[in-house]
Amino acid sequence: MKKIRLFWLLLALFITQIIVVKYLLTYLNINNTSSYHYFYTSFSKFQRQLFGWTTFSVGDLFYTLLVVFFIYIFFKWVKNIKKNSLLTAMLIIGIITVMQFCFYLFWGFNYSRAPLAKFLKLDLKTLNANDLILLNTQLIAKANFLQSKLAKADSLKVSAPYNRQQMLYQSAISYNQLAQQWPEFSYKNQSIKWSLYSVPLSYMGYSGYYNPFSGEAQVNSQIVAPFIPFTACHEMAHQLGFAAEQEANFLSYLACINSQDDFIKYSGYLVALSYSLSNLSFVDRIEFKKLVKTIHPGILKNMQENDAFWSAHQNPSTKVFAAFYDHFLKANKQTDGIKSYYGIVKLIIAYHQTYPLKKS
């Protein structure tokens, strides 16, 4: 009888927690002076200090142990299905409740952070063809210049000038260079890791992810080299408390283009150009085709290599994970779901209307 009461108590606690979290996500408005912001800033630095020194992903190891534990519980439940079914259910509900609580406390409430555009005083407008054409023209000029400089020939794709570990290091430095203009984006206590699950992540369609339980930025080591710095900077933006995907993308872009390293800069312009071209292709197909002809063949080869990588890993589960993440984002105040990544274009246009791109 006590076990049954405890089961219903745990279930009630779990459901109550879901309702409370939903309420807080709806009505919280976290800014740089909020109590949660101060808590998160301090706590995330502590996480990075605690686990940043390790050469392996502590967060991935945690997930591995968790999966092993659940498998153990499952087989134990099957073996004693009548005897332990209630205890097993209570254990699972208890673990999920604790993990949900930790997820939102450690990071998840950043989904209620005040818009980055408001902090930067950007005037976001509906995308139009003229703005997209101008942005694409500027990004192509920047990418062409850097591609020629790095590859030494317009027809050659850009390859990494150093090893992949150095890419992560240079990516982290780029935030400190961005912080010279915007101190709020200062990044200390580096904790960027190659994910132990890089191969599975490739088949799931993920180039990286942020682990809120360990505070680590996880990067898929399998992805095409010129896209690694942008991915690393994107996950670092999550570490800084910017949960919205379009904002993490935008901060990654700013960090990359403010880097003193040409390869990191190229990564920023390359990915931004990919998003911007995609937007233009839906708005003005004729101008899109004209602009593509002005892109150096080497850049197109980098883009094609990236497309080929993801196409090679496409499988039925990719759509399942994409649908899951789409619902997850929508449940956390990102109404555009997985399409929110493309919001980077609107932010870039608004930013450069205030802070124009300098000619190469």
- By mean pLDDT, which of 80-89, 139-148, 168-177 is the weakest? 80-89
Q: Are residues 342 and 193 in the same domain?
A: yes
Q: Are residues 263 and 196 in the same domain?
A: yes
Closest CA to 263 of 302, 205, 292, 305: 302
Instruction: Map residue 320 onto helix, strand or coil.
Output: helix
Q: Are residues 177 and 97 in the same domain?
A: no
Residue 78 has pLDDT above 80, yes or no: no
pTM for this structure?
0.94
Residue 343 has pLDDT above 70, yes or no: yes
Q: Are residues 266 and 211 in the same domain?
A: yes
Q: Is residue 348 part of a domain?
A: yes
* Residue range 106-130: mean pLDDT, rounded: 92
Sequence-separated (6 or more) residues with CB below 8 Å from residue 345:
127, 132, 135, 272, 275, 276, 279
* Residue range 317-335: mean pLDDT, rounded: 93
| Residue 186 to residue 283: CA distance in whole angstroms | 36
Residue 84 has pLDDT above 70, yes or no: no
| Residue 144 to residue 129: CA distance in whole angstroms | 22
* Residue range 186-206: mean pLDDT, rounded: 96
- By mean pLDDT, which of 69-73, 118-122, 244-248 is the weakest? 69-73
| Residue 246 to residue 341: CA distance in whole angstroms | 5
Q: Is residue 360 part of a domain?
A: no
* 8 Å CB contact between 239 and 186: no
Q: Are residues 231 and 338 in the same domain?
A: yes
Q: Is residue 172 part of a domain?
A: yes
Q: What is the DSSP letter of 161?
A: S
* Residue range 225-254: mean pLDDT, rounded: 98
* Residue range 60-78: mean pLDDT, rounded: 87
Q: Are residues 233 and 316 in the same domain?
A: yes
Share of the chain above pLDDT 90, in %: 78
Q: Are residues 138 and 280 in the same domain?
A: yes
Domain of residue 32, residue span: 2-112
pLDDT at 82: 59
Tokens, residue 353: 């209307």
The alpha carbon torsion through 19, 248, 44, 65 (nearest 10 deg) reads 70
Q: How confident is the model at residue 169 (pLDDT cuts 50, 70, 90)?
A: very high
Residues in the chain: 360
Buried b (16+ CB within 10 A) or exposed e, 16-40: ebeeebeeebeebebeeebebbeeb
pLDDT at 145: 98
Q: Is residue 102 part of a domain?
A: yes
Q: Are residues 129 and 100 in the same domain?
A: no
| Residue 328 to residue 346: CA distance in whole angstroms | 23
Question: Residue 267: what residue type?
Answer: S
Q: Taking the CA of residue 330 as centre, how many other CA atoms within 13 Å lie in the half-sphere pointing to its CB?
A: 11
Q: 198 φ, ψ to 5°?
A: -60, -40
pLDDT at 11: 80
pLDDT at 1: 60
pLDDT at 23: 86
More confident residue, 101 or 28: 101
| Residue 331 to residue 241: CA distance in whole angstroms | 18
* DSSP H or E stretch at residue 217: strand 216-219
pLDDT at 299: 98
Q: Are residues 202 and 262 in the same domain?
A: yes
Q: Are residues 322 and 216 in the same domain?
A: yes
Q: Are residues 222 and 162 in the same domain?
A: yes
Reported as a single tens digit per residue, the pLDDT across 1-39 is 676 777 778 788 888 888 988 888 888 788 777 889 899
- By mean pLDDT, which of 14-18, 71-75, 233-237, 354-358 is the weakest? 71-75
Q: Is residue 359 part of a domain?
A: no
pLDDT at 352: 96
Instruction: Among 64, 89, 112, give the residue marking a domain's end.
Output: 112
Query: How many domains does the structure of the chain reveal?
Result: 2
The Cα-based distances of 257 to 60, 253, 268, 270 in angstroms read 30, 6, 6, 10
